[in-house]
Amino acid sequence: MSQKKILLIEDNEFNRKIVRDLLARQPYDLIEAHDGEAGVEAARREKPSLIIMDVQLPKMSGLDATRQIRAEPETSKIPIIVVTSFALSGDDKKAMDAGASAYLTKPYSPRQLLEAIRKWVGEA
């Protein structure tokens, strides 16, 4: 059985490294995109098992990218964990309204993220 693919859409290299290091010891294939437009393209191309989506992204916000992924039949069912470091009251509702499957605020613990990944895609 092939490994499950996780698409990380995150513009901050430090944050990408945290996830890269976390998943290096896990049986998942990590794909990275650095902005919202590239993330939508990667979702179409790769059909990942799960997407981890930052809210604050260049070219297209994470919420707009989430809406676009949800609007397309071939990507509409992919679970999306939305993450943000600028959590304001109501942001979780905005993320869920955009189509997020889950919502995490930064800084999150590696264990929190891994639990969320496993909840949505299971053990690899």
CATH number at residue 78: 3.40.50.2300
Place of tokens 């070219």: 59
- Looking at per-residue pLDDT, the higher value among 107 and 36 belongs to 36
Average pLDDT over the chain, rounded to an integer: 90
Span 28-60, pLDDT tens digits: 999 999 999 999 999 999 999 999 999 989 999
Predicted pLDDT at 122 = 81
Tell me the C-alpha to C-alpha distance, in Å, between residue 92 and each of 58, 95, 105: 20, 5, 9
Quick one: pLDDT at residue 50? 97
Q: Is the pLDDT of residue 11 over 60?
A: yes
The whole domain housing 109 covers 4-121
| pLDDT reading at 87 higher than 70 | no
What's the total number of domains in the chain? 1
- What percent of the chain lies above the pLDDT cut of 90? 69
State the CB neighbour count (10 A cutoff) for residue 102.
Answer: 18
Rg of the chain, C-alpha, whole Å: 13
* In contact, 77 and 51? CB cutoff 8 Å: no
Model pLDDT, residue 123 = 65
Query: Residue 73 class from Cβ within 10 Å (0-12 exposed, 13-18 middle, 19+ buried)?
Result: exposed
DSSP result, 34-60: SSHHHHHHHHHHH--SEEEEESS-SSS
Stronger pLDDT, 93 or 116, i.e. the higher one: 116
**pTM, to two decimals:** 0.92
The separation between the first and the last C-alpha atoms of the chain, rounded to the nearest angstrom, is 9
pLDDT of 106 reads 79
pLDDT value of position 1: 46
